[in-house]
Amino acid sequence: MPTALVTGASRGLGAAIARALSPTHDLLLGGRPSAELDALAADLDGASTWPVELTDHEEMEAATEPISELDVLVHNAGVGAIAPVEDTYADEYRAMMEVNFIAVAELTRQLLPALRAARGHVVIINSGAGRDAKPGWSAYAASKFAARAFADSLRAEEPDLRVTTVYPGRIDTDMQRDIVAMEGDDYDGSRFLRVESVAAAVVAAVTASADAHPTEIVLKPTGRG
Protein backbone atom coordinates (compact mmCIF):
# COMPACT_ATOMS: atom_id res chain seq x y z
CA MET A 1 0.00 0.00 0.00
CA PRO A 2 1.09 3.62 -0.42
CA THR A 3 2.47 5.38 2.65
CA ALA A 4 1.06 8.52 4.28
CA LEU A 5 2.58 10.66 7.03
CA VAL A 6 0.05 12.65 9.09
CA THR A 7 1.33 15.22 11.57
CA GLY A 8 -0.62 16.09 14.70
CA ALA A 9 -2.19 12.64 14.53
CA SER A 10 -2.66 11.88 18.23
CA ARG A 11 -6.16 13.35 18.51
CA GLY A 12 -8.80 15.54 16.94
CA LEU A 13 -8.62 16.16 13.21
CA GLY A 14 -5.25 14.41 12.80
CA ALA A 15 -6.58 11.18 14.29
CA ALA A 16 -9.69 11.43 12.10
CA ILE A 17 -7.55 11.88 8.97
CA ALA A 18 -5.42 8.90 9.97
CA ARG A 19 -8.49 6.73 10.47
CA ALA A 20 -9.93 7.82 7.13
CA LEU A 21 -6.69 7.02 5.27
CA SER A 22 -5.97 3.74 7.08
CA PRO A 23 -7.95 1.45 4.72
CA THR A 24 -5.82 2.53 1.75
CA HIS A 25 -2.47 3.62 3.24
CA ASP A 26 0.27 2.48 5.56
CA LEU A 27 0.51 5.27 8.11
CA LEU A 28 3.22 7.17 9.91
CA LEU A 29 1.49 8.91 12.80
CA GLY A 30 3.30 12.11 13.67
CA GLY A 31 3.02 13.70 17.08
CA ARG A 32 4.68 14.17 20.41
CA PRO A 33 5.11 10.87 22.29
CA SER A 34 1.84 10.09 24.07
CA ALA A 35 -0.47 7.30 25.12
CA GLU A 36 -3.01 8.60 22.60
CA LEU A 37 -0.56 8.28 19.71
CA ASP A 38 0.43 4.77 20.77
CA ALA A 39 -3.21 3.73 21.13
CA LEU A 40 -4.10 5.02 17.66
CA ALA A 41 -1.19 3.12 16.10
CA ALA A 42 -2.28 -0.06 17.87
CA ASP A 43 -5.83 0.42 16.62
CA LEU A 44 -4.93 0.93 12.95
CA ASP A 45 -3.44 -1.83 10.83
CA GLY A 46 -0.28 -0.77 9.05
CA ALA A 47 0.28 2.25 11.30
CA SER A 48 3.47 3.24 13.12
CA THR A 49 4.15 6.14 15.42
CA TRP A 50 6.47 8.90 14.22
CA PRO A 51 7.09 10.78 17.49
CA VAL A 52 8.95 13.90 16.35
CA GLU A 53 9.08 17.43 17.75
CA LEU A 54 8.43 19.48 14.61
CA THR A 55 10.14 22.58 15.95
CA ASP A 56 13.39 20.62 16.47
CA HIS A 57 14.77 20.54 12.95
CA GLU A 58 17.70 18.28 13.76
CA GLU A 59 15.37 15.71 15.31
CA MET A 60 13.12 16.04 12.29
CA GLU A 61 16.05 15.47 9.92
CA ALA A 62 17.08 12.29 11.73
CA ALA A 63 13.48 11.00 11.54
CA THR A 64 13.01 11.80 7.86
CA GLU A 65 16.34 10.37 6.69
CA PRO A 66 15.11 6.72 6.53
CA ILE A 67 12.03 7.68 4.46
CA SER A 68 13.03 7.03 0.85
CA GLU A 69 9.56 7.21 -0.70
CA LEU A 70 6.40 8.93 0.55
CA ASP A 71 3.08 9.01 -1.26
CA VAL A 72 1.16 11.43 0.97
CA LEU A 73 2.25 14.08 3.46
CA VAL A 74 -0.57 15.66 5.48
CA HIS A 75 0.42 18.75 7.45
CA ASN A 76 -2.17 18.87 10.20
CA ALA A 77 -0.23 19.87 13.33
CA GLY A 78 -0.94 23.42 14.41
CA VAL A 79 -1.47 25.82 17.27
CA GLY A 80 -3.91 28.66 17.70
CA ALA A 81 -4.63 31.60 19.98
CA ILE A 82 -6.34 34.94 19.64
CA ALA A 83 -5.71 38.42 21.03
CA PRO A 84 -5.89 41.99 19.77
CA VAL A 85 -2.76 43.39 18.14
CA GLU A 86 -1.96 45.56 21.16
CA ASP A 87 -1.77 42.42 23.33
CA THR A 88 0.06 40.19 20.84
CA TYR A 89 3.80 40.25 21.39
CA ALA A 90 6.69 39.11 19.22
CA ASP A 91 7.05 35.78 21.02
CA GLU A 92 3.45 34.92 20.17
CA TYR A 93 4.01 35.61 16.48
CA ARG A 94 7.21 33.55 16.53
CA ALA A 95 5.55 30.60 18.26
CA MET A 96 2.65 30.58 15.83
CA MET A 97 4.92 30.87 12.79
CA GLU A 98 7.25 28.16 14.05
CA VAL A 99 4.53 25.49 14.17
CA ASN A 100 2.01 26.61 11.58
CA PHE A 101 4.43 27.68 8.86
CA ILE A 102 8.14 27.00 9.42
CA ALA A 103 7.61 23.37 10.48
CA VAL A 104 5.44 22.83 7.39
CA ALA A 105 8.08 24.30 5.10
CA GLU A 106 11.02 22.49 6.71
CA LEU A 107 9.37 19.08 6.90
CA THR A 108 8.33 19.36 3.27
CA ARG A 109 11.84 20.39 2.25
CA GLN A 110 13.37 17.43 4.04
CA LEU A 111 10.89 15.01 2.49
CA LEU A 112 11.03 16.35 -1.06
CA PRO A 113 13.25 13.53 -2.36
CA ALA A 114 10.84 10.93 -0.95
CA LEU A 115 7.83 12.78 -2.32
CA ARG A 116 9.44 13.15 -5.74
CA ALA A 117 10.28 9.45 -5.81
CA ALA A 118 6.59 8.62 -5.34
CA ARG A 119 5.21 11.54 -7.39
CA GLY A 120 3.44 12.22 -4.14
CA HIS A 121 0.80 14.48 -2.70
CA VAL A 122 1.20 17.21 -0.07
CA VAL A 123 -1.94 18.23 1.82
CA ILE A 124 -1.79 21.31 4.02
CA ILE A 125 -4.60 21.81 6.52
CA ASN A 126 -4.96 25.56 6.56
CA SER A 127 -7.93 27.52 7.94
CA GLY A 128 -10.54 30.04 6.98
CA ALA A 129 -8.13 32.45 8.67
CA GLY A 130 -5.69 31.71 5.86
CA ARG A 131 -8.07 33.43 3.45
CA ASP A 132 -9.65 36.13 5.59
CA ALA A 133 -8.01 37.71 8.66
CA LYS A 134 -10.49 38.72 11.37
CA PRO A 135 -9.95 41.12 14.28
CA GLY A 136 -8.00 39.41 17.04
CA TRP A 137 -6.52 36.79 14.75
CA SER A 138 -3.40 38.61 13.51
CA ALA A 139 -0.79 36.06 14.65
CA TYR A 140 -2.75 32.96 13.68
CA ALA A 141 -3.91 34.39 10.35
CA ALA A 142 -0.40 35.56 9.48
CA SER A 143 0.94 32.05 10.01
CA LYS A 144 -1.82 30.56 7.88
CA PHE A 145 -1.38 33.13 5.10
CA ALA A 146 2.31 32.17 5.11
CA ALA A 147 1.39 28.48 4.79
CA ARG A 148 -0.91 29.37 1.91
CA ALA A 149 1.91 31.19 0.09
CA PHE A 150 4.25 28.26 0.69
CA ALA A 151 1.75 25.82 -0.81
CA ASP A 152 1.26 28.02 -3.88
CA SER A 153 5.03 28.26 -4.45
CA LEU A 154 5.56 24.53 -3.90
CA ARG A 155 2.80 23.71 -6.37
CA ALA A 156 4.41 25.92 -9.03
CA GLU A 157 7.93 24.59 -8.39
CA GLU A 158 7.10 20.87 -8.25
CA PRO A 159 4.84 20.00 -11.19
CA ASP A 160 5.17 16.27 -10.55
CA LEU A 161 3.63 16.65 -7.08
CA ARG A 162 0.05 17.40 -6.18
CA VAL A 163 -0.33 20.09 -3.52
CA THR A 164 -3.71 20.64 -1.90
CA THR A 165 -4.57 23.34 0.62
CA VAL A 166 -7.67 22.61 2.69
CA TYR A 167 -9.39 25.65 4.21
CA PRO A 168 -11.86 24.42 6.82
CA GLY A 169 -14.02 26.74 8.83
CA ARG A 170 -14.28 26.17 12.54
CA ILE A 171 -13.96 22.51 13.56
CA ASP A 172 -15.31 20.80 16.67
CA THR A 173 -11.98 20.12 18.43
CA ASP A 174 -10.30 20.74 21.77
CA MET A 175 -8.40 23.66 20.24
CA GLN A 176 -11.71 25.18 19.18
CA ARG A 177 -12.97 24.87 22.74
CA ASP A 178 -9.95 26.82 23.92
CA ILE A 179 -10.50 29.53 21.33
CA VAL A 180 -14.18 29.88 22.14
CA ALA A 181 -13.21 30.21 25.82
CA MET A 182 -10.78 33.01 24.86
CA GLU A 183 -13.66 34.70 23.05
CA GLY A 184 -15.77 34.43 26.21
CA ASP A 185 -18.56 32.44 24.54
CA ASP A 186 -20.33 29.20 25.46
CA TYR A 187 -19.21 26.21 23.43
CA ASP A 188 -21.64 24.51 21.04
CA GLY A 189 -19.86 21.97 18.88
CA SER A 190 -22.93 21.49 16.66
CA ARG A 191 -22.18 24.89 15.09
CA PHE A 192 -18.85 23.64 13.76
CA LEU A 193 -17.54 21.14 11.23
CA ARG A 194 -17.06 17.56 12.39
CA VAL A 195 -13.51 16.23 12.15
CA GLU A 196 -14.83 13.36 10.03
CA SER A 197 -16.15 15.82 7.45
CA VAL A 198 -12.77 17.48 7.04
CA ALA A 199 -11.03 14.09 6.96
CA ALA A 200 -13.37 13.01 4.15
CA ALA A 201 -12.29 16.05 2.13
CA VAL A 202 -8.65 15.06 2.60
CA VAL A 203 -9.40 11.53 1.39
CA ALA A 204 -11.26 12.93 -1.62
CA ALA A 205 -8.21 15.00 -2.56
CA VAL A 206 -5.76 12.16 -2.06
CA THR A 207 -7.83 9.65 -4.03
CA ALA A 208 -8.67 11.99 -6.91
CA SER A 209 -7.88 10.43 -10.27
CA ALA A 210 -4.39 11.02 -11.65
CA ASP A 211 -5.62 13.49 -14.27
CA ALA A 212 -7.00 15.82 -11.57
CA HIS A 213 -5.10 18.18 -9.28
CA PRO A 214 -7.31 19.39 -6.40
CA THR A 215 -5.42 22.57 -5.52
CA GLU A 216 -7.80 24.08 -2.94
CA ILE A 217 -10.74 22.84 -0.91
CA VAL A 218 -12.87 25.27 1.11
CA LEU A 219 -15.25 23.90 3.74
CA LYS A 220 -17.67 25.97 5.78
CA PRO A 221 -19.92 24.69 8.57
CA THR A 222 -23.64 24.71 7.91
CA GLY A 223 -24.53 24.77 11.60
CA ARG A 224 -26.81 21.76 11.11
CA GLY A 225 -24.66 19.33 13.06
Which of 89, 179, 93, 90 shows the shortest CA–CA distance to 128? Answer: 179
Give the list of residues 6+ apart from residue 49 with CB closer than 8 angstroms, or none. 28, 29, 31, 33, 37, 38, 41
Give the closest residue to 202 by CA, choosing from 67, 1, 41, 15: 15
74 by DSSP, 3-state: which?
strand
Backbone angles phi, psi at 215, to 5 degrees: -80, -35
One of 89, 93, 140, 187 is an active-site residue; which one? Answer: 140
Question: Is residue 167 annotated as part of the catalytic site, yes or no?
Answer: no
Residues designated catalytic: 140
